[in-house]
Chain A
């Protein structure tokens, strides 16, 4: 279950593989060709089109986009809130993973199931779900709609599973012997946690944090109904890109999108390095 959604070991293609690999034969060359053609038509060429469109105006296209006060406010809000939510996830996600692996109580399986709901739920529905508890007719009397807190709330909702699901399997596979050895050598509980458990889970926490940051900066659907997308206040980068598209200004949309793509690529690279480290420890 734990790796159902975000198996952290699934990316470790470069890891040592059992069994020899075959070089390409006629049939598989054809397969590779078809797969690559589809991948190019679907992903690579369209993403290249964004970069090309943004580059059409040279550097000043980017500079204009970045210095536009409204876009800059959106970037600041998105990055700031994403960092905040990632911080929350690092703490809460690790804590939840710990509870799910090390604790036993009635309802643990339910808790484990609920963690996956944000991943499977349509994003627009996620916004509406949060609105029904934290919106204008809130049974709690808390109304966050159209405030910055609504952005925090929505991002925390959609990124909830990431750290939990990357830390959980690592914690589950942690060798009990090592902890017992530490304890038998006189280490206190805190020392064992700090010196044995923590170093083992840190790469997984970092990988989860990277995933949750990447998801948070690109979030759109859950914010539509919740945040009101007020310029300078609750407008995130994705909404800004969409309003450029709807306004017919594809160059500015592409420039802003290129910046987001760059961040996404950086996160992917960081993840790749982290996954290797996780794999080496495992």
Chain B
């Protein structure tokens, strides 16, 4: 069943066309990749899918329902989480606090929380348990009380992912998860992405430049260039596609 899809997405910034009639469809339970040269419109499309950006035309669907009217904070309630390209953590706060915010949608009624009613206290304990579970999953359990700005870059990327996982999502949008990581960190993140997909059944759509990440981890890949769809297919098909090779892969190698 289709989890996320969009068609006809066009986004213009003044005179520049960032996205032109883009379409893609993400099936439940698989890992999808979105690649393209710099400036191809990948992050803009991401922002459209996560509702941080409005499109001038086109629509976005989740489980068949049109979500054009949804606001960014409502996405998490639908089951869609996202990470950010340049780490967007709450840098002065601890790892645990960062993850706890990620679980915000499970926090219950704000008014019960403000007055510390018994129901709220129960929810808070469950929230804490959830945060610990997620931290353990991403092997962050020893770093929970450290302000995240003191963590190494690879760990910060993991906190970003943990925060996205904390809300019990069905779909995760990963924006360049391994940007700026060394090769060891890249391998770790590859494992994590595979793990959350296989163990937890979460659908993943990731934007990435690192080819090993995309080719080894993704089940299906969309290639875009100059804001339009260029090609799509399995990693094997994409690596053979002459259009892609000319536009992107060939020049990279």
Physical interaction between A and B: no
**Chain B contacts to A: CB under 8 angstroms:** none
**Chain A contacts to B: CB under 8 angstroms:** none
